[in-house]
Structures are given as structure tokens and as C-alpha cells.
Amino acid sequence: MSPSKTLAALAVLSAIGAAHASDFPTVDAAISHAVSESTAAHAPAFEYAAVVIQTAEGYRLTDLVRGEGDSFRLSLRLAAGEHLAALFHTHPGAPSFSDMFSENDTKVSDQLNVPSYIYVTESQHVRKYIPKVSPKYSLGAGPFRNTSISKGALVNLEQIT
């Protein structure tokens, strides 16, 4: 995906901080660090988001950005040789729908063709959505009948080194 398409897609997700200087061996290791940071000193009533970037040396994690309520916006500039590897954000609130990837979550992940991770603050679960792999479900009848969501898959952070 070209950098301009990446920036356009991320526009649906405000400005993101600089990437961490430390490298991680895997995307999951970067996500595990993001979960630790999001639980350390952040208000659970807001969504926080970050991006995992693939470099020649491994993976880097951008600084967490606080959203407004249950949404956030990200923008990102990739250096030459870097690639978007994954999206991460928190889902505050009761786990009934917080444990799910929203339709917007799946659309952005699908458009960028990168996995998306959510950390559900209430249940302390991490879930992973993979484009073209993770199934989507319709919410059925009512005002959300044309809305699809995904459960993704649980990620066991204890298995990440």
C-alpha cells in the first residue's frame, strides 16, 4: 500500500507521537508492551491507540494517543523502509460489546490489510482481528441490522516473549 493510501486510511482513525526507540522481536511483543502502557497511567474511560511499525531491525510501537470518549484519530508518516504492521487500541467499558471489533475497527483493518488488536480494559482481554481471516457477524434486526462486528481471537499475553 502506498504511503498516501495508508495516510488516507488512517485519517478515519489526531496526530500520533514518535515511535519508541526500542525494538520488539514480534508484533505480539509490541502489542504486549502497548497493553502494559495503556494500563499503567491512563484513564480507562477513554480509548487509547498506537500503531506497530515494521523496521529493518524488528518492530516499533508509536506512543499511545488518547481519543475522545470511544473514538480516536491517528495519522502516521512512515520512513523509507518502514511498513505498517498492526493497529492497537483500547476498548473501555462493559465487556458486552467492548469485547468486539466494531464495524469501523474491521473496515480500517481491512482497508490497510493489517491486523488490529484491542485491549478490553474491563475484562483485561486482548483480541486480534485479521483481515480476510477473522469472521464477521451481523447484529441482526433493529437500527444496527446492517452493522457487522467481529470477535476476532483471544491473544494469550503470557505466551509472548
* Tens-digit pLDDT profile for residues 14-46: 333 444 546 899 999 999 999 988 887 666 677
Beta bridge partners of 90: 119
Please tell me the predicted confidence (pLDDT) of residue 144.
59
Q: How far apart are CA 117 and CA 136, in angstroms?
A: 15
CB 17 within 8 A of CB 66: no
Least confident among 37-46, 47-56, 150-159: 37-46
Please tell me the predicted confidence (pLDDT) of residue 146.
64
Q: Going from the N-terminus, what domains does the chain have, and what CATH number goes with each?
A: 3-159 (3.40.140)
Averaging pLDDT over each range in 36-45, 64-73, 124-133, which range is the top one? 124-133
Burial code (b: 16+ CB inside 10 Å, e: under 16) for 122-143 equals eeebbbbbbbeebeeeeeeeee
* Tens-digit pLDDT profile for residues 72-119: 777 888 989 999 999 999 888 766 678 889 888 999 999 999 999 999
pTM, full prediction: 0.81
Please tell me the predicted confidence (pLDDT) of residue 41.
61
**Is the pLDDT score of 161 beyond 80?**
no
Is residue 5 very low, low, confident or very high in pLDDT (cuts 50, 70, 90)?
A: very low
Q: What's the angle, vertex CA 148, arms to CA 145 and CA 151, rounded to 5?
A: 135
Q: How far apart are CA 91 and CA 73, in angstroms?
A: 14
CB 88 within 8 A of CB 49: yes
Question: In terms of pLDDT, which residue wins out, 4 or 57?
Answer: 57
CB 13 within 8 A of CB 108: yes
